[in-house]
A and B are shown apart, each in its own frame.
Chain A
Amino acid sequence: MSNEWNLAPAAESTSSAEIKERYELFINGEWQAPSDGNYFETISPASEESLAQVAAAGQKDVDRAFEAANAAFKPWSALPAAERGKYIYRIARMIQERSRELAVVESLDGGKPIRESRDIDVPLAAAHFFYYAGWADKLEYAFPQRDPKPLGVAAQIIPWNFPLLMAAWKIAPALACGNTVVLKPAETTPLTALKLAEIIKDAGLPPGVVNIITGAGETGAMMTAHKIPKKLAFTGSTDVGKMIYKAALQGNKKVTLELGGKAANIIFDDAPIEAAVEGIINGIYFNQGHVCCAGSRLFVQESVYDQVLMKLKRRMDQLVVGDPLDKNTDIGAINSKSQLQTIEEYLEVGRAEGSEIYQPECELPEIGYWCRPTLFTNVAQSNRIAQEEIFGPVLAIQTFRTIEEVIDKANNTPYGLSAGVWTDKGSKIFQLTKAMKAGVVWANTFNKFDPTSPFGGYKESGFGREGGIHGLSAYLDF
């Protein structure tokens, strides 16, 4: 049989996605032009076409945003908590109502497959607002013998891998706890956060409660150095996270950091192999591997190594790389040109270190930023591709014989965000999940997220939790 049975194109219509030519800054409930008059382009990484001009916030804009948030804090925190919660419920509902549009824009701006933005990013963002809305009038039950109070203004900086979802993770608990916020999305993916600003305006939130400003790292630095915020919340790289931690210490601000990772995904010989292979694929190729908790280090018990590798390669051969807006696409576009360069450098590093590379021979579009799903075998623990966060669809495979050996290897990293373990034996699951120095451990599953489940790291993957009851204390003063 020939391999002509290719999937027919199944492109999602973009007609629902209205993108303005130019976006201003959302400050004090209004769209305000940047005082320096600077704008930057946001492009589609799949087509390299410009999607919109976006305002670059300078110092005066950052000042205005924090002043608006500061002025809004007193009345917002003084609202009856149930009323505060109802505003947040409204946001959740409006995200659901505009879910199709948000999903399309997310995939256009960031390059992720529409299947993921439609089924994961947008529903989870709505669920996050819905979950924390309900906490607003129940905070005193969460902390026995304590008197929880809002902190004030929060400065929040989020990355480009889950733009809308990270905005939800940051804004929802902050508002529920009675704070006001200034949020900055990443410069390559500002559009869904700006759509969220439209929703927040439509929901009738009092002006200044949520301010969304756009810009690059310099704008972020102005935010973290600013006098007004009492709280810094950051998701992103460990290097930038350390700078933000320092700014927080120097400014005597509360801080939570959700930083990089290099998760171990551990397959034992008694694992359900077919399910484990799906878990490996989902662990590292979900969202092009642009996931801080990606299962980028695979540890396979020696006795099943050949079998797992064969099935894994066969599964990789079936992955569809291409148009993010095609519903059949498994792996979309790499988020930016610079990230593609970073990934390609690591591919070179892997080869140079003596590891063997495997990539399926799938066709790639000629325009846009693409990377085939990649795995490396013959990887040593000390190799850079086994130590450093690549943030791309690149898997480093190692083998092990004993439980003790794999626990040592898995924990031998400065990171500690997540881990995965696959085995059919319950007691072994708990031995491993207890031994992993990681904030999120998936057993016989991977890359699952839920607003009720706290997420965050050990060690240099940061501290503080987002989600669940534990996510509240990040935004409260006691």
Chain B
Amino acid sequence: MSRLNIQKTYKLFIGGKFPRTESGRSYSIENDKGALIANMCHASRKDFRNSVVVARKAQAGWAGKTAFNRSQILYRLAEMLEARSASFSEEIQLLGSSKSDADKEVVDAIDTLVYYAGWCDKYTALFSSVNPTASAHFNFTVHEPTGVVAAVAPEQNGLLGLVQIIAPIICGGNTTVVLASNTMGTSAISFAEVVQNSDVPGGVINILTGVMSELTPHMASHMDVNALVIARIGLSDESRDAVIENVKRFADWSTSEVDSNPYRILDFQEAKSTWHPVQTSTGGVSGY
């Protein structure tokens, strides 16, 4: 007798939990033959705002962890994803990818996490400076996280695109609310299960599914969001311009494929210069 399989319910990921959208709305993802793959949550403005609240609460704690600790947690994400790589590949294939393409997307996502795991305790050393001021001061410049980052992941590559945008954000001590791919978001929500099992504190990564044009005006205008990054084309000028209201940092990654490099981390960093006087001895000099 054949057994009826159990289908997964895809929900949102906010504050380390999996709530349904408060709006009760859903939309469906179908494969290329029109068969239903999943009903996804159609996140609302309020879901986004709730996510920002938990992301803000989590930010100081995440930034306050040692860089080594953040590095291990990103590496842990890679470990957990590796362990589940077969199921992720199958989930991606359901949307129409070939097995080899799906396998490649999963391993690329894993390798991206390992890559940024390694950067956590190195980028500050690379991009900081000790500044030789023309006065008796010790003066240095280091980077610090910008804060809470709203992000729109690419429409293609629901898993890899999500990881490529999340990793540099959290690597640098920020927390994020990310809108996953609309049509390929199943693996993004499954990635939330990986996040939940990887010692990432609740609220550091929050993942929504829904409609870009509906959420981006609120992402851009929210006064407690410090930066907005868009890796998908289709952002309206009006939505984009709302970033000026709190002088939000804006990064447009939509115009080319997102690669991995440490400069991506700097899009969500602030440089701080610290000064302190250096005492100079004015006593006698040795005389020959």
Contact = CB atoms under 8 A, between A and B. Distances in A.
Given A257-B247, A445-B137, 11 more contacts: A439-B273, A441-B272, A442-B274, A450-B133, A452-B132, A452-B133, A454-B271, A454-B273, A462-B247, A465-B271, A470-B271
Interface string A235-257: 00010011101100110000001
Interface string B134-177: 11010101001010000000000000000000000000000000
Given A249-B241, A259-B247, A445-B276, A450 B129 contact: no
B274 A441 contact: yes
A459 interface: yes
B247 A454 contact: no
Contact of A146 (B133, B134, B263): B263
B183 to A, nearest CB: 28
Summarize A's interface: helix, strand, loop or mixed.
mixed
Contacts, number: 105
A37 interface: no
Interface of A: 127, 144-146, 238, 241-243, 245-246, 249-250, 257, 259, 414, 429, 433-434, 436, 438-445, 448, 450, 452-456, 458-463, 465, 468-470, 478
A246 B244 contact: yes
A463 B135 contact: no
A459 B263 contact: no
Contacts of A441: 272-275
Contacts of B132: 452
B276 A460 contact: no
Contacts of A470: 129, 141, 271
B32 interface: no
Contact of B272 (A144, A242, A243, A439): A439
Interface of B: 126, 129, 131-135, 137, 139, 141, 144, 146, 226, 237, 240-241, 243-247, 249-250, 261, 263, 270-277
A468 B129 contact: yes
Given A249-B241, A468-B131, A238 B274 contact: no
A257 B249 CA distance: 11
24 contacts: A144-B126, A242-B244, A245-B247, A246-B244, A249-B243, A249-B250, A257-B247, A259-B247, A442-B274, A444-B276, A448-B133, A448-B137, A450-B133, A452-B131, A453-B133, A453-B275, A454-B131, A455-B273, A459-B246, A459-B247, A460-B247, A463-B249, A463-B270, A468-B141
Contacts of B135: 448, 450
A345 B144 CA distance: 37
Nearest to A465: B271
Given A249-B250, A450-B131, A452-B133, A440 B273 contact: yes
A249 B146 CA distance: 20
A453 B141 contact: yes
A361 to B, nearest CB: 33
A441 B273 CA distance: 6
Nearest to B276: A443
Contacts of A429: 276
A170 to B, nearest CB: 18
B241 A250 contact: yes
B124 to A, nearest CB: 12
B272 A440 contact: yes
